[in-house]
Chains A and B, each alone.
Chain A
Amino acid sequence: MHALKGVDFDLNTGECVALLGENGAGKSTLIKVLGGAHEPEEGMIEVEGKERRFSGPLDSLEAGVAIIYQEFNLVPGLSAAENIFLGIEPSNYGWVRKSEQNIRAMETFQRIGAEIDPKILCDQLTIAQKQLVEIAKALVRDAKILVMDEPSAALTKKEVEQLYLLVDDLKSKGIGIVYVSHRLEEVERLADRAVVMRDGERVGELSREELSRGKIIELMVGRSMDREFPSHTRNIGKVRLRVNSLRRGKKVRGVSLEVRAGEIVALTGLVGAGRTETGRLIFGADSREGGEIELDGRKLELRNPSDAIKEGICLLTEDRKEQGLILGLSVQENFGLPNLERFSRSGWIDQKRERASFSRFVEQIRIKISGPAQLAGQLSGGNQQKVVLAKWLERNAEVLIFDEPTRGIDVGAKFEIYQWMNRLADQGKAILMISSELPEVLGMSDRILVMKEGEVRGEVENGEGITQEKLIALAIGEKERAA
């Protein structure tokens, strides 16, 4: 299998080209080729008219190409300045000229409008600051081309705005930028051009004038999609999940909520508002300091996730790689993990039954795998989420908590996940959807709870008149809006 099949790509001075594609389309591989992490089997790379061979990260840096990966390459125990100059320290006979290093780091920070103390240790920086250190690192190495892999994925709204300004600024200084992203609205905002990839091939290019969500999605998915969210009609019943003044530390301070049968309730708010923590408390993943959880009018004593699973509550974590799946186990083993008691008799696993049940879901949910023995770590984000979904569907859970159900998932798979959520609601399950994607919140939920500082600050029925702006106002809180 080839991850890249004869891809052409070009970038002009001072231009920002968005690189788009679903997960598994070959974007990451292309980036790794540019960064010298993978050597291409065929084809060539030219920088400023000169042919270059990148057989290691140093080669591409020398040619002026810097990659800013999603997982930063910073040494946590070193200062910002030390990280910036790592490997190219200004020195006299091996003695680092620290003050010069700090001054030059400061100057670079000023160039990109960053307010960071060069002497601060990198593990004390926020994600946005770390990103700025990475950019500074590229600039002191005279990078002319900056490749950024989903730079906005982990930033707050405000930080994202600053990033946009910085990108504009770098462009004006003649630096070419390759911007990889899943967020279509920022592509519209930033890109001069967009190159779309699918299945390792370049399938199209859109000029600034042609850029629109519809067009982009159509190219990415390979078919036209009129809508991002599937239509639904709801038949909402009795209250199934009731949570009363749940609390734990400063993150969750007395949260009460209800989810009824056949209802999708969205729990939204800014990062750090306590949404994920609330979900984890309901699932028993953390111990609660107070509050009650009721399912169908019955009080539950949940000491750990296993208790919650037995009661029919499940959590689809936001971070699938770290918490949702065991990447070193096969997809089937991952699928079986919470269901082993159904597939086993006195401790012996009936692997035939397990396989039969798993293959049923592979078909129903359309999970793309090479076989049940494929390792979970080898799947794309969308398929990983589908495996997670399959394991809880087999479990026949009554309450499903989806934490950022479509983060890092390509457009096509997103739609399918939404369809499944609707289908589960139709079956009378109670669904709590934790999400910071406001279009998703508005497109999928029946009721919206907005959290701030560990409390539910607002509750609205979804419908006409509810806009992203209103939700943001609730999430930020009255005080800040007044100021």
Chain B
Amino acid sequence: MMKILKALFSSDYGMLGALLFLCVFFSSITYEQQQPVGEEGANQLSEEIIEKFPVAGTVLIVGKKGVDGNAFVEGIRKRLTREGWEIKGALTGGPPEFGRALRNVFETNSSLDLVACEQFFAQLPVVENLRKLNPASSEMRVMTPKSYGWPNFLKASNLLNVANQIAVIAILAIGMTLVIITAGIDLSVGSLIAFSAVLATWTIREWTGGVDASVFGMTVGCALAMLASGGLGLFSGAMVAYFNVPPFVASLGMMMVASGLAYMLSGGLSIYQLPASFDWLGRGDDLGGIPNAVTLMAVLYIAAHLLMSRTTIGRHVYAVGGNPEAARLSGVPVKRILLWVYASSGVLAGLGGIVMASQFRSGDPKYGLMYELYVIAAVVVGGTSLSGGRGKIFGTLIGAFIIAVIQNGMNLTGVQSYTQKVVLGMVLLAAVLLDMLKKRGWKLQE
């Protein structure tokens, strides 16, 4: 057992094992009976009805208010009409509407063979009461979609939700991974989210048309925000590369500057004068139901992985982090690499800010508070060494997902948000501990 665990954690992407374990764990404790909803439920129930009733009869169709309920009711109505059923009613609503509809049917003395409804309605006392009061209803059957067992955690909608919620942190974590591989740290990324979100939305409101802004206008605002964030990153990089300011201090200063700029620009208020289409990036799902932010994250990770493993820049970044003097004496432009790395972190933080602004369709100087810490946590959990020179891009993605899965799993199982913080902190410590053990060759004592 220990051997398997060691082998798992020893590989480059050691935390993948931890992520899989978490997924299995949360799947098993969120396993419950699921009701098919919407079209899926409609199809399943219709098939069953047609099978059970060789002759068409009369039916009342009931679903809950909302998108799923509408789809459910509409789906069954269409199908059964085609089969020659007489539709006595097709409605969405709550228990009162349902009760009224039932009474209506029996008060007009017509018969009703079937109630096709969602699980929720079948259990209501109104059905039992009706059977007692009205003998004509004794022949009536109530049918609901068949339930099946499936973990809440593993539902496609939940998994996409996990990915969508971590997208901003994961995008920032790419830049942070580069910075940490050079043995630095960038504390300014959280504030840069706010700065970029505010600058993009402010530009759109003030200059490129506000609510009526065109796609071009929005692009200009976003590009400007990313460039400016990159500029601020570049400035931190220059402090580190040319003046030997410790990265912690340089980026701490930039963190305050960026946050202050965001408040100044917005006057401390949200900026929401944006076109409706501004939420395309944050809320749209153009690629087979996958949120656009998740697609963007995936593309960025693949690009960053290729950059770090296949290009001269990537090799140089590792070299600078491993030993800057040896790298310099081997002809690596150390200062330029440092500048580039901090600028990239800035641009990516800017992009994260735009995704967030798009998710909320507004820009607010309070965005991204404490995000730098989650981002650093993701990088560290992903196995990148804070002493530099070592780390993998996909390791960071795994680290981000570990954090997201734990948060989501705890939400699903109703763990309090205060407790969640404690757990996340422990996970971070455990990850660092594992890393230390790995370096020492699995000895508890040196």
Binds A, one of B155-163, B234-242, B327-335: B327-335
Asked whether B331 lies within 8 Å of A349 as measured between CB atoms, the reply is no
Question: Contacts A333-B318, A344-B311, A349-B311 given: A325-B331 contact, CB under 8 Å?
Answer: no
Residues of B close to A325: CB separation below 8 A: 323, 326
Q: Given A337-B331, A340-B315, A349-B315 in contact, is the A326-B323 Cβ separation under 8 Å? A: yes
A305 in complex: contacting residue of B311, B313, B322, B328, CB < 8 Å: B328
Kindly state the separation between the CA atoms of A355 and B150 in the bound complex, as whole angstroms: 49
Q: How far, in Å, is A63 (CB) from chain B's closest CB?
A: 19
State the Cβ distance, B9 to closest chain A Cβ, in Å: 19
Interface size on A, residues (CB 8 A): 31
Residues of A within 8 A of B316 (CB): 340
Please judge, given known A-B contacts A305-B330, A305-B331, A323-B326, whether A328 and B389 are in contact too, CB under 8 Å: yes
Across the interface, do A324 and B326 meet the contact criterion of CB distance under 8 Å?
yes
A107 at the interface (CB under 8 A from B): no
The reply to whether A347 and B313 contact each other, CB–CB distance below 8 Å, is yes
Complexed CA–CA distance, A340 and B316 (Å):
10
CA distance A340 to B310 in the complex (A): 11
A126 to B389, CA, bound (A): 32
Question: In the docked arrangement, what's the CA distance between A349 and B312, Å?
Answer: 6
Q: What chain A residues lie within 8 Å of B325 (beta carbons)?
A: 322-323
Instruction: Report the separation of the CA atoms of residues A315 and B310 in the bound assembly, to the nearest whole angstrom.
Output: 27
A309 to B333, CA, bound (A): 12
How far apart are the CA atoms of A338 and B310 in the complex, in Å?
16
Inter-chain CA distance A341–B325, complex, in Å, is: 20
Any B CB within 8 A of the CB of A367: no
What B residues does A323 contact at CB under 8 A? 323, 325-326, 329
Q: Does chain B have a CB within 8 A of A317?
A: yes
Knowing A329-B389, A344-B311, the reply to whether A337 touches B328 (Cβ < 8 A) is no
Q: Does A304 contact B (CB under 8 A)?
A: yes
User: Is residue A336 contacting chain B, with contact meaning CB distance below 8 A?
Assistant: yes
A304 to B333 CA separation, bound complex (whole angstroms): 9
A348 on the B face (CB < 8 A): yes
Binary contact track B324-356/A, C-beta < 8 Å → 1, others 0? 011111111100000000000000000000000
Distance to closest chain B CB from A41 (angstroms)? 14
Query: Is the Cβ of A337 less than 8 Å from the Cβ of B389?
Result: no
**Complex: A283 Cα to B316 Cα, angstroms:** 20
* Contact between chains at A285 and B330 (CB < 8 Å): no
Q: Is the CB of B315 within 8 A of A348?
A: no
Q: How far is the CA of A324 from the CA of B325 in the complex (A)?
A: 9
CA distance A56 to B446 in the complex (A): 9
In the complex, the answer to whether B328 meets A285 with C-beta atoms within 8 Å is yes
A391 contacts chain B at the CB level, 8 A cutoff: yes
B60 CB within 8 Å of chain A: no
Interface string of B290-333 (1 = CB under 8 A from A): 00000000000000000000111101101100110111111111
Q: Does A327 touch B at the CB level, under 8 Å?
A: yes
Chain B residues near A310 (CB, 8 Å)?
331
Question: Which of A317, A334, A340, A351 has the most B CB atoms < 10 Å from its CB?
Answer: A340
Counting contact residues on chain B (CB < 8 A from A), the size range is: 20 to 34
Q: Tell me if B361 counts as interface (CB < 8 A to partner A).
A: no
Whole-angstrom distance between the alpha carbons of A333 and B445 in the complex?
32
- The 8 Å CB contact of A348, one of B311, B323, B327, is B311
Binary per-residue interface labels of chain B (372-394) against chain A in the complex, 1 for a CB within 8 Å, 0 otherwise: 00000000000000000110000
Q: Using Cβ atoms and an 8 Å threshold, which residues of chain A touch B389?
A: 326, 328-329
A284-340 interface (Cβ within 8 A of B): 285, 304-306, 309-310, 315, 317, 322-329, 333-334, 336-338, 340
Q: Are A329 and B311 in contact (CB under 8 A)?
A: no
A466 to B124, CA, bound (A): 111
Closest Cβ–Cβ distance, residue B303 to chain A (whole Å): 13
Q: Which of B312, B322, B390, B445 contacts A340 (CB 8 A)?
A: B312
User: Which of B311, B312, B322 sits near A326, CB closer than 8 Å?
Assistant: B322
Give the residues in chain A near B326, CB-CB below 8 Å. Answer: 322-326
Interface mask (A379-418 → B, CB under 8 Å = 1, otherwise 0): 0000000000001000000000000000000000000000
- For A283, A306, A317, A337, the residue with the greatest tally of chain B CB atoms inside 10 Å of its CB is A337
Question: Taking CB as reference atom, which chain A residue is nearest B327?
Answer: A326
A327, B389: Cα distance in complex, Å: 9
Report whether B330 and A322 are in contact in the complex, using a CB–CB cutoff of 8 Å: no
Q: Which single member of A317, A327, A336 contacts B329 (CB below 8 Å)?
A: A317
Provide the residues of chain B in CB contact with A336, threshold 8 Å.
Answer: 315
B331 touches A338 (CB 8 A): yes
A329 touches B318 (CB 8 A): yes
The chain B residue sitting closest to A325, CB to CB, is B326
- Verify B323–A327 contact, CB threshold 8 A: yes
Q: Which residue of B lies closest to A324 (CB)?
A: B326
Given A328-B322, A349-B310: A337 in contact with B390 (beta carbons within 8 A): no
- Listed by A's residue number, 26 A-B pairs whose Cβ atoms lie within 8 Å are A56-B445, A304-B328, A306-B331, A306-B332, A309-B331, A317-B329, A322-B323, A323-B326, A325-B326, A326-B319, A326-B323, A327-B323, A328-B323, A328-B389, A328-B390, A329-B322, A329-B389, A337-B315, A337-B319, A337-B332, A344-B311, A344-B312, A347-B312, A347-B313, A349-B312, A351-B310
Which residues does A use to contact B, with CB under 8 Å?
56, 283, 285, 304-306, 309-310, 315, 317, 322-329, 333-334, 336-338, 340-341, 344, 347-349, 351, 391
Which residues of B approach A to under 8 Å, CB–CB? 310-313, 315-316, 318-319, 322-323, 325-333, 389-390, 445
8 tightest Cβ-Cβ pairs between the two chains A and B: A326-B322, A306-B331, A309-B331, A328-B389, A337-B330, A328-B322, A340-B312, A326-B323
